[in-house]
Chain A
Amino acid sequence: MRDDAVRGHLDGLLLAVLESGPLHGYAIIAAVQERSRGALELRKGTIYPALNRLERLGLLRSEWESVGERRRRRYRLTDAGRRSLATERAAWREFTAAIGSVLDPAPGAAT
């Protein structure tokens, strides 16, 4: 799936992979790719300003941690982030159900 198609859902994707626990930037990228089995083409560099924006909106919190000689910034969901993710999920399910019912109508439902 192309990068510009993914961009509109980037916030939801980032919140979703952080639901199970805090991760740093590269691990977030790897988690998105792993969950999508490589189907989502993410322009990797764009996640850093996106993470910063989600933190500014209060949906994420971050802190530096030392890993060996390197320091990494780890992000975790806030309560507001969890609520936002639940809203995104509900909206996505509603959207895909509506589109699916048009593109792929159940047998006998088409008129």
Chain B
Amino acid sequence: MSAAPVRADPIEEHVAALAAVLHGPERDKARMLDELRDGLVDTADALVEQGLSGHAAARRAVREFGTVGQLAPSFQHELTLIQARHTARAVALTVPVLLACWYLVGMADLAQGRQLPAAAQLLAAATGGVAATAALCAAASLACTGALARRLPVWHRLPLVVAWTGTTAGIAFALSALALTTASAMSGNWQLSALAGAATLVVHARVAASARVCRECARLPAGGPVPA
């Protein structure tokens, strides 16, 4: 005698299929899918009360909620914007701290009558300018995708712009870290320079990783009309 085949849960299958095509910050993705699962279960429970079997109710709930193809564009659009906001926030918050850090290193060297090598100073000025511009772009993007989006539609290429802003800031941080590390080897105050270089490297890793996910999300097809 063989056991009856176990039928897969249509709700879990549907949520898993949707999860497989969505990209973005894991916590937000999980939250949105958890809510969707809750809604499907509630709908199926209501259908069971109306007399359907558990499996038939789950299948009908899935049908009423929409196919993966119908749901994925709106879920992905929201996840892409959330990721863009994460990246923009990372850039906007860390750049001022790093600029202050670099400034303190420069001031400490000056106070001791020393200066960074000319090449390092030039590189620091250039990367500082790039990082500051990136921070301004990131802050503007945060505003455009937040409360301001009540009045203005979000430009569909904004997530891509944020992704490349984050990438540019990440490159600027990497170059700065290189300059600071090199300078620290030559500097009398090498501990402070090395510390600033290490902090810059940590921030570079965080911003670059966020920008990479943002680029992946932004490359995905928008699909359908783009809400604010």
Chain A interface residues toward B at CB < 8 A: 24-26, 29, 43-53, 56-59, 70-73, 80, 84
Q: Do A56 and B32 contact each other (CB < 8 Å), given the known contacts A46-B74, A49-B74?
A: no
Give the interface SS of chain A, mostly helix, strand, loop or mixed: helix
Chain B interface residues toward A at CB < 8 A: 28, 31-32, 34-36, 38-39, 42-43, 64-66, 70-71, 74-75, 77-78, 81-82, 85, 145-147, 149-150, 227-228
Q: Which of A25, A44, A58, A71 contacts B150 (CB 8 A)?
A: A58
Cβ-closest chain A residue relative to B18: A45
Q: Which of A29, A45, A51, A70 contacts B66 (CB 8 A)?
A: A45
With a CB–CB cut-off of 8 A, which chain A residues contact B82?
Answer: 52, 56
Are A26 and B71 in contact, CB atoms less than 8 angstroms apart?
no
Are B78 and A26 in contact, CB atoms less than 8 angstroms apart?
no
Q: Which of B36, B65, B228 contacts A53 (CB 8 A)?
A: B228
14 A-B residue contacts at CB 8 Å?
Answer: A25-B38, A26-B39, A44-B43, A46-B71, A48-B32, A48-B39, A53-B228, A56-B146, A57-B147, A57-B149, A58-B150, A73-B31, A73-B35, A73-B38
Are A52 and B32 in contact, CB atoms less than 8 angstroms apart?
yes
Are A48 and B75 in contact, CB atoms less than 8 angstroms apart?
yes
The winner among A45, A47, A53, A72 for most chain B CB atoms within 10 A is A45
With a CB–CB cut-off of 8 A, which chain B residues contact A44?
Answer: 39, 43, 64-66
Are A57 and B71 in contact, CB atoms less than 8 angstroms apart?
no
Are B36 and A48 in contact, CB atoms less than 8 angstroms apart?
yes
Bound Cα distance from A17 to B216, whole angstroms: 36
Give the interface SS of chain B, mostly helix, strand, loop or mixed: helix
Distance in angstroms from B119 CB to nearest chain A CB is 44
The winner among B34, B39, B81 for most chain A CB atoms within 10 A is B39
Cβ-closest chain A residue relative to B45: A26
With a CB–CB cut-off of 8 A, which chain A residues contact B65?
Answer: 43-45
Are A80 and B150 in contact, CB atoms less than 8 angstroms apart?
yes
With a CB–CB cut-off of 8 A, which chain A residues contact B75?
Answer: 48-49
Are A72 and B150 in contact, CB atoms less than 8 angstroms apart?
no
Q: A48-B32, A56-B145, A73-B38 given; name 20 further pairs at CB < 8 Å.
A: A29-B39, A43-B65, A43-B71, A44-B65, A45-B66, A46-B70, A46-B71, A49-B32, A50-B227, A51-B35, A52-B32, A52-B82, A53-B81, A53-B228, A56-B82, A56-B146, A56-B149, A58-B150, A71-B34, A73-B35
